[in-house]
A and B are shown apart, each in its own frame.
Chain A
Amino acid sequence: MTPARIAILIAFAGVLVAVAAAARPAPAGPEERVERIVAELRCPVCQGLSVADSPSASAREMRDLVVQRVAEGRTDEAIREEFRRSYGDWVFLAPPTQGAGTLMWLLPIALVAAGAGLAWGRARSRAEAAEHDPAPADVQALRARVAREEAADL
């Protein structure tokens, strides 16, 4: 295996480890759940701030509602749905994982995969080309043969 292939494999393994680490389930305590949900919600009166980061009265009310809903035993998805019903998908800082929002998530992955495929293909072509280069002895023999044939023609 060529060094280029090894480098690509290591890069892939690194990406997979990072994705797996990011996707691991978070702790499910009430406080952690509240923090996770308010970090996802967009503050309606701020510029690109989450409810978790905003000190506004609206953000405080949204946080209080999340705290109440968690205490009532509602699921995370039910709480998110309540906000989605009022504000639409806009209320979430990250694009939705359904419908057109899926494209936002898949496009970077597809681009990375395509780039990796391209790099792999090029590395393979170069390696094959190097493997099939004629041996110096063969080149020498060919040159001698050409010289002989040219001399014979003369």
Chain B
Amino acid sequence: MTTPNVAASRRFTLTGRTANLLVIAVLVGLIVVLALGFRRDPRDIRTAVVGKEAPAFRLERLEGTGTVALEELRGKVVVVNFFASWCVPCREEHPALVRAWERYRTSDVVLVGILFQDSVESGRDFVRRLGGTWPTVVDDRGRTALGFGVFGPPETFFIGRDGVIEGRHIGPIDEDTLVRGIETLRRKPS
């Protein structure tokens, strides 16, 4: 007569063990998820476009007339720099861009400045005051910046001769980083 009670209590014990196993499994799962999350470089989220073909653009020049198209620069190493006159770090990095341009202007390297969320007048004033004779263009309602996945200026992209984005620098760039990025692409066989 006591047999059913024994069976019931045994089943109850098994359920308790199952509950313990379940808690342990959940904890292990959480630890694995957290371990994977911490291992990941949070800056990875910003590199979605690296290794992919650069988004095509044809944009109006900031000074003078005409346009600059990325497609027409195929076969050259292209450095695309997003900047704005209201951006203080852009002013900080500008001398490095000027020096790099002086170094490579007669070579197979092209620097293209893209004015980001700024007025044409302010952009022209910025370039005239700080110097720089590389092609500078005005973004079309932010479309190019969105295509490149820009978060905010300054951002610099290194594009190989095949049109693929090989590198990206977020924030003000220095001359060493510029030269290193350019030389890496120049050495790369086309």
Are A129 and B33 touching (Cβ within 8 A)?
no
Most buried by B among A57, A84, A87, A90: A87
Please tell me if B48 contacts chain A, counting CB pairs below 8 Å: yes
Q: How close is B152's CB to chain A, nearest CB, in angstroms?
A: 6
With beta carbons under 8 angstroms apart, the residue of B8, B18, B45, B142 that contacts A129 is B8
B interface, by DSSP: helix, strand, loop or mixed? Answer: helix
Assess A85 versus B48: contact at CB under 8 Å? Given A45-B152, A62-B146, A122-B15: yes
- Provide the bound-state CA to CA distance between A58 and B118, in Å: 12
- Provide the bound-state CA to CA distance between A138 and B2, in Å: 11
The digit string for B1-34, where 1 denotes a CB below 8 A from any CB of A, is 1101100110110010011001000100100010
Please tell me if B83 contacts chain A, counting CB pairs below 8 Å: no
Assess A57 versus B8: contact at CB under 8 Å? Given A44-B151, A86-B147, A142-B1: no
Query: Which chain A residues border B29 with CB–CB below 8 Å?
Result: 107
Please tell me if B143 contacts chain A, counting CB pairs below 8 Å: yes
Query: Which chain A residues border B9 with CB–CB below 8 Å?
Result: 129
Are B146 and A45 touching (Cβ within 8 A)?
no
Are A125 and B147 touching (Cβ within 8 A)?
no
Assess A118 versus B22: contact at CB under 8 Å? Given A132-B4, A142-B1: yes
Query: Which chain B residues border A57 with CB–CB below 8 Å?
Result: 117, 142
Please tell me if A133 contacts chain B, counting CB pairs below 8 Å: yes
With beta carbons under 8 angstroms apart, the residue of B8, B146, B150 that contacts A125 is B8
Q: How close is A47's CB to chain B, nearest CB, in angstroms?
A: 12
Please tell me if B148 contacts chain A, counting CB pairs below 8 Å: yes
Please tell me if A29 contacts chain B, counting CB pairs below 8 Å: no
Query: Which chain B residues border A122 with CB–CB below 8 Å?
Result: 12, 15
- Provide the bound-state CA to CA distance between A57 and B18, in Å: 54
Q: How close is B37's CB to chain A, nearest CB, in angstroms?
A: 9
The digit string for A106-125, where 1 denotes a CB below 8 A from any CB of B, is 01000100100010011001
Q: What is the interface size of chain B, counting residues whose CB is below 8 A from a CB of the partner? A: 36
Please tell me if A150 contacts chain B, counting CB pairs below 8 Å: no
Assess A125 versus B12: contact at CB under 8 Å? Given A61-B142, A84-B48: yes
Query: Which chain B residues border A100 with CB–CB below 8 Å?
Result: 36
Query: Which chain A residues border B36 with CB–CB below 8 Å?
Result: 100
- Provide the bound-state CA to CA distance between A65 and B142, in Å: 9
- Provide the bound-state CA to CA distance between A134 and B143, in Å: 79
Please tell me if A128 contacts chain B, counting CB pairs below 8 Å: yes
- Provide the bound-state CA to CA distance between A111 and B19, in Å: 12
Please tell me if A73 contacts chain B, counting CB pairs below 8 Å: no
Please tell me if B141 contacts chain A, counting CB pairs below 8 Å: yes
Closest-by-CB residue of A relative to B118 is A57
Are A65 and B146 touching (Cβ within 8 A)?
yes
What are 9 A-B contacts defined by CB distance under 8 Å? A44-B150, A45-B151, A65-B143, A85-B48, A85-B49, A86-B148, A88-B45, A125-B15, A132-B5
Besides the known contacts A86-B149, A134-B2, 16 further A-B residue pairs in the complex with CB atoms under 8 A apart: A44-B149, A44-B150, A44-B151, A45-B151, A61-B141, A62-B146, A87-B45, A87-B149, A88-B46, A118-B18, A122-B12, A125-B8, A125-B15, A128-B4, A129-B5, A138-B1
